[in-house]
Amino acid sequence: MEPGNLSRVSEFPLLGFSEGPELQPLILGPFFSMYLITVFGNLLIFLAVSSDSQLHTPMYFFLTNLYFVDICFTSTTIPKMLMKLYFFLLFAGLDNYILTVMTYDRYLAICHSLHYMIIMNPQHCGLLVLMSWIMSILHSLLQCLMVLWLSFCTVLEIPYFPCEIKQVVQLACSNTFLNHMMMYFGAGLLFGEPLAGILYSYSKIISCILGVSSSQGKYKAFSTSAPHLSVVSLFYCMSLGVYLSSAARQSSHSGATASVMYTVATPMLSSFVYSLRNKDIKRALKRFLRKETIKELIVLGLKK
User: Is residue 5 domain-resident?
Assistant: no
User: Is residue 159 domain-resident?
Assistant: yes
How far out from the chain centre does Cα 287 lie?
A: 27
Kindly compute the dihedral angle of the four CA atoms of residues 94, 125, 38, 86, in this order, to the nearest 10 degrees.
-20
Q: Whole-structure pTM over 0.85, yes or no?
A: no
User: Is residue 94 domain-resident?
Assistant: yes
The residues facing 7 across adjacent strands are 152
Question: Does residue 212 have a pLDDT over 60?
Answer: yes
pLDDT at 27: 59
The chain-wide mean pLDDT, for the chain, equals 75
pLDDT at 240: 74
Higher pLDDT, 187 or 302: 187
Highest mean pLDDT among 3-7, 146-150, 183-187, 257-261 belongs to 183-187
Q: Are 77 and 160 in contact (CB under 8 A)?
A: no
CA distance 160 to 189: 24
What lies within 8 Å, CB to CB, of 281 at 6+ separation is 45, 48, 49, 55, 274, 275
Outline where DSSP puts E strands in the chain.
none
Higher pLDDT, 243 or 291: 291
User: Is residue 100 domain-resident?
Assistant: yes
Total domains in the chain come to 1
pLDDT tens-digit series, residues 37-75: 878 788 888 888 888 888 888 888 888 888 888 887 777
What lies within 8 Å, CB to CB, of 68 at 6+ separation is 42, 46
How far out from the chain centre does Cα 218 lie?
A: 29
Q: Rounded to a whole number, what is the distance in angstroms from the first to the last CA of the chain?
A: 70
Q: How confident is the model at residue 127 (pLDDT cuts 50, 70, 90)?
A: very high
Higher pLDDT, 159 or 239: 239
What is the CATH classification number for the domain harbouring 120?
1.20.1070.10
User: Is residue 42 domain-resident?
Assistant: yes
User: Is residue 115 domain-resident?
Assistant: yes
**Residue 158 DSSP SS3:** strand
Amino acid at 92: A
Q: Are 255 and 160 in contact (CB under 8 A)?
A: yes
Q: Which whole number is the average pLDDT over 271-280?
A: 71
Percent of the chain with pLDDT strictly greater than 70 = 72
Choose among 233, 254, 234: nearest CA to 245: 254
Q: How confident is the model at residue 105 (pLDDT cuts 50, 70, 90)?
A: very high
pLDDT at 1: 40
pLDDT at 22: 54
User: Is residue 88 domain-resident?
Assistant: yes
Question: Does residue 238 have a pLDDT over 90?
Answer: no
CA distance 65 to 99: 10
How far out from the chain centre does Cα 187 lie?
A: 15
CA distance 203 to 110: 12
Environment class of 134 (CB within 10 Å of its CB; exposed 0-12, middle 13-18, buried 19+): exposed
pLDDT at 216: 83
pLDDT at 78: 47
DSSP-derived secondary structure letter, 9 = -
DSSP-derived secondary structure letter, 262 = I
Choose among 262, 225, 273: nearest CA to 113: 225
Distances (CA, A) of 167 to 28, 130, 214, 220, 235: 24, 30, 52, 45, 21
Q: How confident is the model at residue 257 (pLDDT cuts 50, 70, 90)?
A: low
Question: Does residue 298 have a pLDDT over 50?
Answer: yes
pLDDT tens-digit series, residues 155-186: 666 655 556 677 777 777 878 888 888 888 88
User: Is residue 174 domain-resident?
Assistant: yes
The residue range of the domain holding 44 is 23-291
Kindly compute the dihedral angle of the four CA atoms of residues 284, 287, 288, 289, in this order, to the nearest 10 degrees.
120
pLDDT at 130: 92
Question: Does residue 34 have a pLDDT over 80?
Answer: no
